Structure 1
Amino acid sequence: MLDYRAEFDAEVTLDGGGELRARGFRLNIPHADVTDSEITALLVAALAPQRVERAAVSDVRIIAEPHPPAADTQAERVRFVELSHVITAGMVTSPGLPGPEITPHLTRLASRGVYAPGTEFAIDRISMLGNTGTYLDSPFHRYADGADLAGLPLERLAGLPAVVVRAVGGERGVTAEMLAHVSVAGRAVLLHTGGDRHWATPGYGVDAPYLTGDGAQLLVDRGAALVGIDAVNIDDVSPAAAGERPAHTLLLAAGIPVVEHLTNLRELPPLGARFTATPPRVAGFSAFPVRAFATVPDEEPQP
């Protein structure tokens, strides 16, 4: 396992006056393919509580170092939290889109004529949209030249430090104002809206929660690694939106994967969990179901 650090020069203007200049400044980074904007966001976060008016980085160099070996102590205990819906034949994910068809390709009974006596297998077939169940959108979903499922680095999908934003019972839109004090750089930002309580009902797609355009722009500017929501869409899909999709447009343009139809986010702490949502490496494909889950440190003593 490797740890990554960025070494760079920086110029910072502080809100209220004053400037900082640094050469060879180093910061820990979450993955090897960070952008300059992500590094800038990490720098701004590292300078808190100082308020930054402007920051710029240059001459960036990424350093990979072996992760230090764990101390000879009891292994860290974690618990797993399931964040995906179960996929079943005919289920409706998004109203108006067809559900999956699950059929046998080879039944156990038929397989008995293929294999040795006492040996049997089931081989199943599924026909479905990529946007089924809990799924991940790649940049290719929105942009023809964006990374497809096969082009997404694992550093963007697995073991991400998560921040859970509680937005249950308030306004439908999660705004920049609601996100202003959340540290998102290098993290999976999980929007807990409570929209999953309507899953598999006619009300799931009606007046559903979503991320506003200004909220998406803030997450881009501050270097979020991934954004997920427990609702029917990251964007407003009501008739009032007139088909506009600012959250998809901004996030995917910045290379930030989007996970929709999460569930069970209430089980996660605001900070401290690690989030994983990995689709198969399908070339030329834009979205696919994931087994989304989180690991949370387990403080309970074992018997």
Structure 2
Amino acid sequence: MRQILSGVGLALVSLCASLLLVEFAARWLAPPYATETGELFSCHPQLGWTGTPHFAGTLEGPGFEQALQFNSQGMHDTDHPVASDNPRVLMLGDSFVHAVQVAEVDTAHQQLENRLGMEVISAGVVNWGTNQQLLYYQTQGRLCQPDTVLLMVYLGNDILDNLPGNVLTIDGVNCYAPYFALCNDILTPLTYAPGFSRLDGSCNRQVFINGMGWMYQHSAVYRQLEPLIIANQPRQAFGQAYPSAFSALYISPPEEVLSQGWEVMQATITHLHAEVVADGAQLGVVIISPDVVVRLGALPPDAQQEFLADNPLFGEADLG
């Protein structure tokens, strides 16, 4: 018996040593993806990613070149003291709030501050969904003791961004947003694990998924294997039959994945509202429609009919 246990122990030690050797070797390999964001963003273990704290540089894009400077939290804003006697608004959102295409004086939060004559704090990052905005408020946003929290919701991508697999590629590695699942009507945070995370199965495997998500963040082997894994287990999505995914928002009945995304987004906003009110503040929600819907609504009747003739899918949609 002692010899058997000794043999098993030796085999386990050898296996662990081999795995450690493979992991060490994988860290010397080139990252599995080409970088997409340069120095503008940094991975974050709880939020997925943020702007790079204290970033200062120039962003070039189609038709613009913009000098940028982020504060200590990676937001397109100056730093604010933790406490203030002045009324405060905390603006949560995604690219509409981060606004990296314009100077800070032209951002939405600064324009609102100028109009209201009160302090407005920017707390939005490119590609964030309401899940990340809720987590940011829980961990950092409430510390600035806002009187009002203003949540900017963009229907064009926020529902999709709340589904498992929302990602930003930074320095050749995929940085995944955490996501929420509704488990017995309880909003449950989960760490994304490539190949294992789906809304319709997460509640029964919370410990396993969070463990695999932690492993992805810390294992070079897992990250190197990821392209093979996701090739066979693509991300859950909706609107694949349409020219643009947001078209599915206006077609009835909604796809199952879209319905799940709606439920999660509504739950995150409800949860945020409860926490904001418990902190003695108030929550306002701004709904931003996709630009094509706004432009269509502004057209005269004849031009609307011409647009619908050229885009028959919108003829089935409820844009009210």
Tell me if TM exceeds 0.5.
no
| Larger RCO of the pair (alpha carbons < 8 Å, separation 6+) | 1
Into which bin does the TM-score normalised by the smaller protein fall? under 0.3
Higher strand fraction: Structure 1 or Structure 2?
1
Q: TM-score, normalised by structure 2?
A: 0.23
Higher helix fraction: Structure 1 or Structure 2?
2
Q: TM-score, normalised by structure 1?
A: 0.23
